[in-house]
Chain A
């Protein structure tokens, strides 16, 4: 079955540690996205990638980093510079970028900083 996988589902981190969230898709989509979801707020765009080896900052990129070395993979690193990292992180992909193609989401990773 085609889809998007994220791992782990739950992640706990101590303050000052970097952590990497995995996102893999086998839909052959060019575009991939990382969002952060906090209670009472809409999804906020962290980074997006329109094609392999290219990515752009979204609205809240500070304290985060990404890479896109393979079409299928778009890992997100939450660095110690992110002041309030506890949140639900969602990865998505679409056939092309530009917001006009439907985005399909992975199951999410809930990150808690202890």
Chain B
């Protein structure tokens, strides 16, 4: 089967850097998404990686290693507004609902002053 794993919760300090990891187990690969979700709100798109390496978008960067089944989201210069859950998702590669996204449970990031 396919599975996505993320840490449940992380704490970091305002102004610091934090890395949120995501590991996936799939028989194939069609890319990996990261979304941000503030409490009680809709998820919003952050990044989509399909090739190995690091992609940078301002304070946020996303890294992918297909050989290791591993991705991370790197947040720099943390701000209080970055307190949110970060969701990792990947398209399925087999079975019913093929190509539909399978989602990790999300990592709740708590930023402390």
Contact = CB atoms under 8 A, between A and B. Distances in A.
Interface of A: 33, 40-45, 48, 56-59, 88, 90, 97-100, 102-108, 110
Given A100-B30, A102-B48, A107-B42, A42 B99 contact: no
Interface residues of B, number: 26
B97 A59 contact: yes
Given A105-B42, A107-B41, A43 B87 contact: yes
A58 B100 CA distance: 9
A99 to B, nearest CB: 3
Query: How would you classify the secondary structure of chain B's contact residues: helix, strand, loop or mixed?
Result: loop
Given A48-B97, A97-B99, A99-B30, A106 B105 contact: no
Contacts of A98: 91, 99-100
A33 B30 CA distance: 19
Interface of B: 4, 8, 30-31, 33, 40-45, 48, 87, 89, 91-92, 96-97, 99-106
